Amino acid sequence: AVLAPNQSLAAFASAEGGSVIGATRAKADLSPLTDKRARLVALNLGPARSNVDFALVVPHVRNGKADYIVAILRPATLHDLVEIPGQHFMDNIFVISPAQGTFALTHVTTNVRTLVGSMPQSQQATAVTKPVLISDVDYRRAITYDLRDSQIVRVGPIAALPEWQVASVLPLAPAVLKARKGQLLQFVALIAFVFLIGLLASRMSKKASKILRRVSQSAADLTQFEAGQPASDQIFIEEVSEISGTIAIAAASFGRERGALASYQRRLNSIAQHAPIIVYAVDVANGEGTDMTYVSPSLEQMLGYSTAEGLTEKWWSSSIHPDDYDYCMAAFRHLEPGKVYAAEYRLRHKNGSYVWVYDTLSVEPTAQGAEQEAVGIIMDISERKASEDQLLQSDKMASLGRMISGTAHELNQPLNFIKMAASNLRENAVRGRLDAEKFIPKLENVLAQVERASAILLQMRIFGRTSKEAPSAINIQHTVEAAILMAEPQMELDGTQLITEVKASDIYVRALPVMLEQVLLNLFINANDAIHSRHDVGDSAEGEIKITIDRNERSAVIIVADNGPGIPPDVLPKIFEPFFTTKPPKEGTGLGLSISYGIIRDMGGVLRAKSSRKGARFIIELPLADATAIEAA
Ligand code: ADP
């Protein structure tokens, strides 16, 4: 339902046969609706308060006019959005649309509480249990996506408004981040420890039972010997019975230890079976993993294979997605004791589809030296990947949207030129005055313009696709050029100059070109916006964005510097936070830098920002690709 311009919420509710609850508060909140905040209001849309609904009211521009979208939320949906046991989420909920921007929800926690409190008990029950959403996305398994020191929980579309997404953000304290890293290590170490104990104990108990069998055999022989020799020495008999007593005690103690071992094993099996992860062990020889010696039964749940199938030779290496194979092999090469290795890649499910997994492995030093075993866990991360892709795509679309007027302008020029050339040609043809010498250069000019226009369009088309390729060694200069090709028309239109300085050439990094282009475009758009804000306050010095390509010992370095007003010291620490923006809704989503930060981090690099009175500088450092990868490129 959409509010008519100038229609009050109360009028809207009454047109739907209901009324606004908590009227004074909600009304006051709703006028004037000129700022960018979305609001959560309580509505009664049914007769006689039998039907309490909450609505999300989002400012929305339609045909150039301000207007509002009212999405009715079920009470349980509301609950699912605003509360997580033990945490209050209200301050951190956003609704986002690539076209309209990001809207923070207003704080209405106490308001909502009072309203829910004023419902009849039976309704309260349905208002706070069973998280059912108006969208068909299953939110019960919260999707988390790490963005520097925050996580976005539950990204997903609103069913009635397909281009809108709802996201809540939860800050992660640095201590939590550190602890989480530590936890994973501890977890791997714990599992490795339990395995080792198990292994050791079973070897010991095998050895011990062999000894016991031998001793009891000798005891039996001795008894026989005694029976045949009635006059044998009394002391000797006593000794034998003493030995057999000791044997009995030892046997009982071994029995107990075996029991403890069995219960250990049961516990381990239970962990392996019920945790939503696969636990495995591999033999390691000369730093390379060889055969899997154990894989937990949860393999079947996650990937459809039985444990016997998982243990067959080459099962793992042949199940890796071909595009991820080289990366994966490189990640698990040169295994050294005491180190932790990890990679994100795709594994083939028995049904043929691929599942995104996070695989982490640590090698345990053993007493025997040469013989080593690695223990690892595999987690299913496909949901996280899907939500990451959604965010990346929405940021890309927002960037393309920001460049559309420049591109349209760029395409219009050759079109005008072609139009003039064509009409000129036609006129001369009609008059029978075709002079090829004069026209060929003109036509060549037309062709050159068409080629440039189609190069821009092709680059935008490639950029706009959701990419499924694998990273490879790329020449960063080419990527910088591709990003400039896309951004240049808009920058020209805005009077901003893009200058490139190549201090070192032929620098290769391992990356997906489109991802790096996305980062560069975000930086260019931000720089251009910053320059504009300086123009807005009357400073008309020419805008300039300088891109420097360089390298140091281990990294490729790309610097994007602008001569805008710089970043104020109170803003600087926040710019990489998701949804942080100082721009009006249609210009900023607040996602650009946090996504760029994530992209660069995933490539093993760092993205940093510096600011001075001369402007802002963003520095990208990426590890150089190794020689073999460059040869393949
Ligand atoms: P958005 O551009 O949508 O606001 P970003 O995450 O890309 O989101 O940027 C966050 C904020 O960082 C911007 O709103 C702006 O205040 C600041 N910022 C980013 N780049 C620059 C720059 N080159 N100069 C000044 N401020 C910048």
Residue-level pLDDT at 388: 76
CA of residue 614 to ligand 1 center, whole Å: 16
pLDDT in tens, 291-307: 788 888 889 989 999 99
Residue-level pLDDT at 452: 80
3-state secondary structure 418-451: HHHHHHHHHHHHHCCCCCHHHHHHHHHHHHHHHH
Which range has the worst mean pLDDT, 92-96, 127-131, 437-441?
A: 127-131
C-beta 583 within 6 A of ligand 1: yes
Minimum CA distance residue for ligand 1 atom 8 = 590
C-beta 22 within 6 A of ligand 1: no
CA of residue 592 to ligand 1 center, whole Å: 8
Global pTM value: 0.55
Closest atom, ligand 1, to C-alpha of 571: 16
Distance, in Å, from the CA atom of 275 to the CA atom of 297, rounded to the nearest integer, reads 10
Section 86-90 average pLDDT: 43
What type of residue is 355? V
Distance, in Å, from the CA atom of 436 to the CA atom of 425, rounded to the nearest integer, reads 10
- Higher pLDDT pick, 248 / 479: 479
C-beta 147 within 6 A of ligand 1: no
Taking the CB of residue 617, how many other CB atoms lie within 10 A of it?
20
At 94, the pLDDT band (50, 70, 90 cuts) reads low
C-beta 292 within 6 A of ligand 1: no
C-beta 71 within 6 A of ligand 1: no
With a cut of 80, say whether residue 496 has pLDDT above it: yes
Section 115-131 average pLDDT: 42
Count, residues in the chain:
633
C-beta 562 within 6 A of ligand 1: yes
Burial bucket for residue 620 (CB in 10 Å: 0-12, 13-18, 19+)? buried
Distance, in Å, from the CA atom of 12 to the CA atom of 57, rounded to the nearest integer, reads 12
CB 91 within 8 A of CB 107: yes
pLDDT in tens, 351-404: 999 999 989 888 876 656 556 788 888 988 888 787 777 778 878 888 888 887
C-beta 581 within 6 A of ligand 1: yes
Closest atom, ligand 1, to C-alpha of 564: 24
Closest atom, ligand 1, to C-alpha of 595: 6
With a cut of 80, say whether residue 424 has pLDDT above it: yes
Section 579-596 average pLDDT: 84
Distance, in Å, from the CA atom of 417 to the CA atom of 445, rounded to the nearest integer, reads 9
CA of residue 84 to ligand 1 center, whole Å: 31
With a cut of 70, say whether residue 7 has pLDDT above it: no
First-to-last C-alpha distance (Å) of the chain: 53
C-beta 571 within 6 A of ligand 1: yes
Nearest to 579 by CA among 123, 102, 250: 102
Residue-level pLDDT at 74: 53
Residue-level pLDDT at 168: 59
Distance, in Å, from the CA atom of 22 to the CA atom of 55, rounded to the nearest integer, reads 13
Distance, in Å, from the CA atom of 347 to the CA atom of 330, rounded to the nearest integer, reads 16
Alpha-helix runs per DSSP H in 275-403: 298-303, 307-310, 315-319, 325-331, 382-402
Torsion of CA 442, 446, 448, 449, to 10 degrees: 130
Residue-level pLDDT at 70: 56
Which range has the worst mean pLDDT, 21-30, 276-285, 316-325?
A: 21-30
CA of residue 571 to ligand 1 center, whole Å: 9
With a cut of 70, say whether residue 20 has pLDDT above it: no
Cis ω for the linkage preceding 230 (within 30 of 0): no
CA of residue 575 to ligand 1 center, whole Å: 6
Residue-level pLDDT at 258: 79
Distance from the Cα of residue 202 to its chain's centroid: 42
Closest atom, ligand 1, to C-alpha of 525: 2
CA of residue 102 to ligand 1 center, whole Å: 14
Distance, in Å, from the CA atom of 390 to the CA atom of 378, rounded to the nearest integer, reads 24
Section 601-607 average pLDDT: 88
With a cut of 90, say whether residue 526 has pLDDT above it: yes
Torsion of CA 363, 365, 366, 371, to 10 degrees: 60
C-beta 344 within 6 A of ligand 1: no
Q: 532 — phi, psi (to 5°)?
A: -60, -40
C-beta 611 within 6 A of ligand 1: no
With a cut of 80, say whether residue 477 has pLDDT above it: yes
CA of residue 491 to ligand 1 center, whole Å: 17
Nearest to 515 by CA among 393, 626, 613: 393
C-beta 564 within 6 A of ligand 1: yes
Pocket test for ligand 1, best of 525, 535, 581 (most atoms within 8 A of CB): 581
Residue-level pLDDT at 415: 83
C-beta 588 within 6 A of ligand 1: yes
Strand, coil or helix: 573: helix
pLDDT in tens, 22-74: 333 333 334 334 444 555 555 544 444 344 455 566 555 556 655 555 555 55
Residue-level pLDDT at 33: 40
Pocket test for ligand 1, best of 570, 593, 608 (most atoms within 8 A of CB): 593
With a cut of 80, say whether residue 77 has pLDDT above it: no
Reading the block at residue 212, the tokens are 């016991």
CA of residue 591 to ligand 1 center, whole Å: 9
Which range has the worst mean pLDDT, 3-12, 58-67, 118-127, 360-369?
A: 118-127
CA of residue 94 to ligand 1 center, whole Å: 18
At 175, the pLDDT band (50, 70, 90 cuts) reads low
Taking the CB of residue 482, how many other CB atoms lie within 10 A of it?
20
Nearest to 522 by CA among 475, 583, 604: 583
Residue-level pLDDT at 113: 47
Element (H, E) at 489: helix 476-494
Minimum CA distance residue for ligand 1 atom 6 = 593
Q: Which residues make beta-bridge pairs with 355?
A: 347
Sorted by sequence, the CB contacts under 8 Å of residue 519 that are 6+ apart come out as 596, 599, 600, 607, 620
- Higher pLDDT pick, 57 / 509: 509
CA of residue 616 to ligand 1 center, whole Å: 10
C-beta 616 within 6 A of ligand 1: yes
Residue-level pLDDT at 159: 47
CA of residue 627 to ligand 1 center, whole Å: 36
Percent of the chain with pLDDT over 70: 64
CA of residue 523 to ligand 1 center, whole Å: 8
- Higher pLDDT pick, 477 / 400: 477
Residue-level pLDDT at 130: 23
Largest CA distance in the chain: 144
C-beta 522 within 6 A of ligand 1: yes
CA of residue 578 to ligand 1 center, whole Å: 11
CB < 8 Å & 24+ apart, contacts of 196-200: 196/364, 196/366, 196/373, 197/264, 198/261, 198/264, 198/265, 198/268, 199/373
CA of residue 163 to ligand 1 center, whole Å: 23
Minimum CA distance residue for ligand 1 atom 2 = 588
Highest mean pLDDT among 234-238, 259-263, 579-583: 579-583
With a cut of 50, say whether residue 154 has pLDDT above it: no
Minimum CA distance residue for ligand 1 atom 26 = 567
Percent of the chain with pLDDT over 90: 19
Give the angle subtended at the CA of 464 by the CAs of 624 and 605, to the nearest 5°.
Answer: 20
Mean pLDDT taken over the chain: 73
